[in-house]
Chains A and B, each alone.
Chain A
Amino acid sequence: MKALVLLVLVGCTGDLVEPWQLDHDRIVAVRSTPPRIPAGATAQLDVLVATAGADVTTLAPDSTVVVSPPSLASAMNGATVTAPSEETLATARAELGLDPGAPIPLDVELTANGFTATKTVWLGDTATNPSLDGLEIEDGSPGDDLVLPVKTDVRLAVTADDSVDNVTWLTSCGTMHDFDLSRAYLRIEPADPQAGQLVVVYRGAGGGVSWRIWPVRASE
């Protein structure tokens, strides 16, 4: 019940920026490619950054540092993560109290465009970032440039299990509804900005991250 009361109170604070708003300075997502690497392999970090009044951009982090485990501090060099040898990984597992052969979470803190974020890269394992399957916008597969009707609920969808995966739809054109579900909808009113961007970020259960960016404008 406390949550309900808070919901009502916070619901009355409509002047705060919405989490789906792209027209706002922030880090939108951090990606490691690949998200899980075996001993000796490398991964690259990049950051999706939103800026008020400008398009979103994909940047390399300005700085990176390993937060945990301390024994793997040297695994991070700029935007590159290098998994150490199996022996070093075994030492790290013991440090963290993990079972032999278990993936090791390498917690990285990074900065980009003046903001700070954390990202976990998994060492001693193999995985790739998820693909964005089943993308549909307005009941069809989207092209590279979107022209959407005004005063219409435009359906957005991607294949995902919302109880496990994390999908976020963001825009700088119109109002997003159900922005954190695999099935959302976007509505552009005449008073809204008539052009901007639409972004979907997909975070899989295994730590993988994918995103896609579209320029979007309202139809005349």
Chain B
Amino acid sequence: MSPKTLALALAVMACPRIAEAQEPLPPDVIGTAGRVIDVTGAPVARARIGAEGSDIHATTDANGFYTLSAPLGTTLVVEHDGDEMGIATVTGATLDDVVLRPLDQGETIELHGEKPFEAPGAAVMDRAELERVPGTGGDVVQTLRVMPGVTNIEIPIGLNGIPIRGSSPQDSRVLVDGFEIPMLYHGLVYRSVLPAESIASLDYIPGGFGVENGRATSGIVSITTRPGDEKRSVEGELSVLDGGVLAQGSAGKRTTYLVGMRRSTIDLVLPSLMPSDADLSLTTVPYYYDGQLRIDHRLDDHWRLFLSGIGATDTAEIYTTKDTSEATKRLYAHTAFARVTAGANYHEGAWTANVALSGVVTRFDFAQGTGQVLKATLPNVSPRAEVIHTSEKAAGLTNVEIRAGAEAQVGHYSADIATGNEPREGEAPPPYDPHDMSTTYHGEFWVNDVAQWVSVAGNLDPKIRATVGVRSDELARTGEVQVQPRAQLELLVAPKWIVRASSGAYRRPPEYQSELLQARLDSERASQEIVGVQWEPREGTRVQGSAYYTDRTHLITREMDGTLGNEGRGTTVGAELIATHRMGPWFAWLSYTYAHSRRVDHPGDESRLFSYDQPHNLNAAASWKHGRWTLGGRFQLYSGLPYTPVVGSVFDNDRNIYVPMYGETNSARAPMHHQLDLRVDYTWKWGPTLMTAFADVQNVYLNKSPITTAYSFDYTQSTTVSSLPIIPMVGLKGVL
């Protein structure tokens, strides 16, 4: 008899009351026993075991053992606070160990309201909960839309960033393992290029970030890819949008790996959705790929090395005619990038160092008709190093942290461009004209930038902590030296109450779209003033509020001659509230944002609404987990965005197009939008595979809200393009 079998037999014998109390069992009901352990092999006490479809249940003892009686084939659901759910099947008198994985081991998403949040201010959510936010299709990056401060847009056409706190998407940076990626979403379906399973943590910092981050005037979204688990596993997921596999495990005692790949599936169904009489030919049905790689190696007790890679590609080719030989009707778009980062982390005593070298290659290829073309290749290499020293006391301060770092980027851009001018923020869209080549460029240039930073943080008093720092960016192409001082104060004003205030200067280099083509364009500037308060009335409940004011200058706007200048100004004022509550099987989320953002394009111009001005944005979500089922709902209510109405048109005979005449910029606003999203997940075990099926349904009560306005060719007629009345998404996931 093996030790395990012996232990189980003893466990059964130790519970005679159960056997004595039971009625004579039906023929297929047997007494069975098992054990619940964690990933280290330690027993899990007080885990709850329930037999599906019945009231049979048990609880593990201090040694992790349980006994119960149930029909053969019954599925047992094992739950324990802080761990993922486990599943076992009654196959005999003794069952295999059920291993519970902790929710917080490599599965935690930290959502930061203000920086720094290393202390009790951090809002912490686990990744599994974020994946189940209804209406996001399990896409963790999409859950950013529920964050306070993020402009909620139902279908964010063309956006490749996050509009945060009254800023344009390009004013914030999205970092993966510390370095920026050129595309966050697959354009066709607004799906992030990183599947949830490959993400370890996601820090959302809407403002007031420290000197270690730069090149942004609004916020930072910092994603850290996930090291592979030591336990070898393979996961697969398939939905109506895409499908992918992810494998992880260890190679030796010191090395783990994670590799994943995903491909769109929407392209398999898209052709069938096209009307047969439409003058369209999908010669290359829009499709996308993405891939992830992460290798971690623990060199010794002080050094950890990692190598991470991420790449994505989107391709589509359409002819707006049945005749695929007609080049004038061709529309082609291809975007691809690959980033590889190698890094090392050192820690010994008071010293910590992080060094990394990252390289990225980005390729844009666009063609419309026989004239318009955009081909750009942007390779870039970025080294980065940071040293942190901590000490208990220094210069009259306690808990002192000194941080110093530097980074550089060496980029060589080459481009062949002949397209129309892309509309800047606030500019109304130009009429469709495939012959418009207002922006032409053929050439190449270097973009070499260097930055350094230093900061000191320390406690002035046990209840007061201050951080001051300065960052300097030197931009070779623009010839600028940008010095950006930043400071932050944190006060423990009462038990469970923390107040924070921050103030700082921020810069965004001119590198968005055609900004790069003008060598002497200055960086955009912003100064941010933020006050926040955090209250944690009990464990599992947190309420955070903040108010902010941002002043922007040197905003890049279009001049009368069509070139770009730095004459724009803007202000944003806002307040945010976020409350999270987690208790037992329940998780609840409430966020509300008030914001007001205005712009002045040129000196003397009238102030106008910012294009992403969204005064009200409310998100309320809740999920409930019971056995194999997880149910969730999310309600959204948010203001529509401003737009510039068309008031007439003039027929340009030589271009054969109608040129719209617009009213006051952003003088109209789309109506408020509201919708309810629901999600249900069901988990079961299929052989050795843990299966999860989900259905994520957006807009369940069929509220059709306007997204945009479409005009007839001559702008005499218009129609509202509404949201799809209901958007169901189903998927299947298996973990082996």
Contacts and interface: CB of A to CB of B under 8 A. Distances in A.
Interface string A108-126: 0100000111111000000
Interface stretch (B51-59, B318-326, B500-508): B318-326
Interface in B710-725: 710-714, 716-719, 721
A97 interface: no
Contacts of B653: 27, 29-30, 117-119, 203, 209
Given A3-B331, A10-B710, A183 B323 contact: yes
Given A13-B710, A16-B712, A115 B651 contact: yes
B158 interface: yes
A12 B278 CA distance: 11
Interface string A145-179: 00000000000000000110010100000000110
| Interface-centre pick from B278, B652, B653, B721 (highest chain A CB count, 10 A) | B653
Contacts of A11: 278, 280
A5 B158 contact: yes
A104 interface: no
B650 A168 contact: no
Contacts of B654: 118-120, 203, 207
Contacts of A16: 710-713, 717-719
B159 to A, nearest CB: 9
A5 B188 contact: yes
B279 A5 contact: no
Contacts of A163: 327-328, 369-371
B650 A1 contact: no
A6 interface: yes
B656 A168 contact: yes
Interface in B383-432: none
Nearest to B286: A4
A9 interface: yes
Contacts of B280: 11
A181 interface: yes
B157 interface: yes
A13 B721 contact: yes
Contacts of B328: 162-163, 181
B713 A17 contact: yes
Interface in A3-53: 3-7, 9-13, 15-19, 25-27, 29-30
A9 B708 contact: yes
B286 A1 contact: yes
Interface in A187-211: 201, 203, 207, 209
Given A11-B278, A115-B651, A163-B328, A2 B158 contact: yes
A9 B721 contact: yes
Interface in B298-348: 314, 316, 318, 320-323, 326-329, 331, 333, 335
Interface residues of A, number: 41
A119 B655 CA distance: 9
Contacts of B369: 163
B187 A2 contact: yes
A11 B59 CA distance: 58
B690 to A, nearest CB: 35
A57 B328 CA distance: 30
B368 interface: yes
Given A168-B656, A181-B321, A118 B157 contact: no
Q: Contact residue range for chain B?
A: 35 or more
A6 B651 CA distance: 23
Nearest to B323: A178
B707 interface: yes
Nearest to B435: A166
A142 B572 CA distance: 64
Contact of A118 (B327, B333, B650): B650
A15 B335 CA distance: 33
B168 to A, nearest CB: 15
Nearest to A9: B721
Contacts of B721: 9-10, 12-13
A167 to B, nearest CB: 10
Contacts of A177: 279, 321-322
Contacts of B321: 177-178, 181
Interface in A63-84: none
A178 B329 CA distance: 9
A30 B328 CA distance: 24
Contacts of B333: 1, 3-4
A25 B658 CA distance: 14
B157 A2 contact: yes
Contacts of B371: 163
Nearest to B183: A1
B651 A117 contact: yes
A139 B80 CA distance: 78
B562 to A, nearest CB: 15
Given A30-B653, A118-B651, A209-B653, A15 B157 contact: no
> Which of B331, B716, B718: most chain A CB closer than 10 A?
B716
A117 B652 contact: yes
A5 B187 contact: yes
B656 A9 contact: no
Contact of A19 (B155, B331, B713, B719): B713
B314 A1 contact: yes
B719 A15 contact: yes
A6 B157 contact: yes
Of B155, B314, B654, B712, the most chain A CB neighbours within 10 A belong to B654
Contacts of B323: 178, 181, 183
A219 to B, nearest CB: 21
Interface in B362-385: 368-371
Most chain B CB neighbours (cut-off 10 Å) among A1, A10, A15, A163 = A1
A128 B443 CA distance: 39
Contacts of B327: 163
A116 B651 contact: yes
Given A9-B710, A13-B719, A1 B651 contact: no
Contacts of A9: 155, 157, 707-708, 710, 721
A5 B157 contact: yes
B650 A116 contact: yes
A109 B652 CA distance: 9
Contacts of A2: 157-158, 187
A161 to B, nearest CB: 9
A162 B434 CA distance: 12
A12 B328 CA distance: 23
B650 A109 contact: yes
B329 A4 contact: no
Contacts of B278: 11
Contacts of B707: 9
A18 B714 CA distance: 10
B710 A4 contact: no
Contact of A1 (B187, B279, B714, B719): B187
Interface string B522-560: 000000000000000000000000000000000000000
Q: Which 5 A-B pairs have the closest CB atoms?
A: A1-B187, A2-B158, A117-B651, A19-B713, A30-B653
11 contacts: A1-B286, A2-B158, A2-B187, A5-B157, A5-B158, A13-B721, A17-B714, A26-B714, A116-B651, A163-B370, A166-B656
Given A1-B314, A11-B280, 4 more contacts: A11-B278, A16-B710, A17-B717, A178-B321
